[in-house]
Structure 1
Amino acid sequence: MSKVLILGANGKIARLAEHIFVDTTDSDLKLYLRNADRLKDFADSHTLAEAVEGDATDTTNLADAMKDVDLVYANLAGNNIESQARAVIEAMHAENKTRLVWISTLGIYDEVPGKFGEWNKKVLGDYITNYAAAAKVIEDSDLDYTIIRPAWLTDKPEVDYEVTQKGETFKGTEVSRRSIAQIVVDIAQDPDKYSRESIGVNKPNTDGDKPAWY
């Protein structure tokens, strides 16, 4: 049995991961979010889940939430994502925690090719710059991290993906949130999986100038 702290626990990918955790594993979950009432019903209905209120830049509160966990899964967003990354690292150091799964985005290494890469840069703009800065902070740390760089996200009820590594050209244009959630759960069950790696994740055979549905 493992205990997982989920930061940004009300996010779409995080909510999917939470349901996979409770349906298919015996992991304990700590659900960390700014308004814990949003997940009160979920936490109350699952004995292995606990909702914790806090901000992802509050190092003291983060460290307190990390005291008895085995893995930290960060599903965070915002213009201050680099500051959140620094706070998470500081809190993990304070509690001697090492295993981190961090959701980022595609394009942070300029790894998306061709017209899709140009389109992605144009649409995401500073979002890529901010997430690249946060990823660098994590990669420069001594943590046992996995950075996940999803393609454009869909709500398709499927697990269908392939992985590219940092330094490789990104493939495809889209992937389901459920696929990303499943990867997170799989890492929690096998912490050596994708250790110290930054992985791009896409659905096979979705190459194009932009996501087909956009």
Structure 2
Amino acid sequence: MMTQKVAILGAAGRIAKLAEPILLEKGMDLVLYAPHPRKIDSDIRENEHVQVVEGDVMETGKLAEAIRGASVVYANLAGSTDNDHPNTVDQAESVVDAMKSAKVSRLIWISSLGIYDEVPGVYGDWNRKTLGHILVEYAEAAKVIEESGLDYTIIRPAWLTDNDEVSYEITQKGEPFKGTEVSRLSVATVVAEIINNPEQNINESLGIDKPGTDGDKPSWM
């Protein structure tokens, strides 16, 4: 059986850094694409199954070369609130173009709760006001992904914690979002599970929260 090659964009991000050791443990080869690769943990960078590429996702040609031959691209991108830098929509368009150029079709895209106005009640109002224009950009980026023709899975986490726990429930697009929070480790676990079973959850948008955390806003707010 051929070893699966996975390209991770934004590989120094906090969720990505939790997913990387899980994927290596499953025997996968990783291409870690990041603008500041020194932020990736050294034991991961130096692993023989890891290739590190320094680059920005807006360098579409360079990105296409980096991901060529990968079976899955996992995009863990935050965008920018700075008008002089690319936002999430620009990043989504570049990723789609690079994947089509490299002939890679499977994409996992981290987004946010609330992009479909699916968060009900007081919590939904609070989330919308708190995230503001960032939520609008995430929604536009998700639309780019959904209309790309790629085999995508969009992941919409609740507000993130650093709790060392795996506890989550999933809602589909069109269903009301549930809890207020979820651990980054839970999201990383879901990402790794989908990468390990890439035929699952194709063209789905998954909301992820911790069961029993329903409320008007996250507990620490």
| TM superposition shift of 1:75 | 0.2
TM-score under structure 2 length normalisation: 0.94
Give the conservation status (yes or no) of the 8 Å contact 2:20–2:44: no
Q: Any unmatched runs of 5+ in structure 2?
A: 81-86
Give the conservation status (yes or no) of the 8 Å contact 1:43–1:51: no
Q: Are 2:99 and 1:92 equivalent residues in the alignment?
A: yes
Q: State the Cα deviation string for residues 56-95 of structure 1 (Å, max 9, x = none).
A: 1111011000112110000001231101000000011111
TM-score under structure 1 length normalisation: 0.97
1:58 match? 59
What is the percent sequence identity of the aligned residues? 54
1:132 match? 139
2:42 match? 41
Residue pairs, 1:1-150, within 5 angstroms: 1-22=3-24, 24-39=25-40, 41-79=42-80, 80-150=87-157
Give distance in 2, aligned partners of 1:136 and 1:8: 20
1:187 match? 194
- The letter of the residue matching 1:56 is V
Cα RMSD after superposing both structures: 1.1
Poorly superposed stretches of 4+, deviation over 4 Å: none
Give distance in 1, aligned partners of 2:45 and 2:114: 39
Give the conservation status (yes or no) of the 8 Å contact 1:111–1:168: yes
Give distance in 1, aligned partners of 2:140 and 2:187: 21
| TM superposition shift of 1:43 | 4.0
Among candidates 198, 210, 213, match of residue 217 of structure 2 = 210
Paired residue total? 213
